[in-house]
């Protein structure tokens, strides 16, 4: 299904961009390897792993609502990570 492929790409791109933004902010502020930045990166990676596990989950009754819930969770988690990123 193309929508599953697109969802996987969205998860990868969104969380990858957040991780990249952490590196850029740390480099511009000369705070490379900060605890706050590392925590954001770890949260992004764990969120990626959780969401990909949900996408690849077998035996789902209603696929449409399942994937819609994953998209909503991605948006919620990404907003939280961006808020933390803005405080960095």
**Domain range summary for the chain, segments of one domain joined by +:** 2-87
CA distance 51 to 73: 8
- Residue 83 pLDDT: 95
Helix extents (H) in 1-88? 2-28, 35-55, 63-87
The whole-model pTM stands at 0.88
- Residue 29 pLDDT: 84
- Residue 2 pLDDT: 56
Q: Is 8 exposed, middle or buried (0-12, 13-18, 19+ CB in 10 A)?
A: middle
Whose CA is closest to 21, among 48, 44, 55, 54? 44
Residues lower than pLDDT 50 in the chain: none
| Cα dihedral 74, 40, 43, 1 sign | positive
- Residue 56 pLDDT: 92
């Amino acid at each position: 299904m193309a929508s599953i492929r697109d969802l996987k790409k969205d998860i990868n791109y969104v969380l990858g961009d957040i991780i990249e933004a952490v590196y850029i902010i740390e480099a511009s502020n000369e705070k490379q390897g900060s605890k706050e930045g590392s925590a954001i990166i770890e949260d992004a990676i764990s969120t990626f792993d959780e969401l990909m596990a949900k996408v690849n989950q077998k035996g789902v009754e209603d696929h449409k609502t399942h994937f819609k819930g994953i998209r909503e969770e991605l948006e919620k988690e990404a907003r939280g990570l961006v808020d933390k990123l803005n405080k960095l």
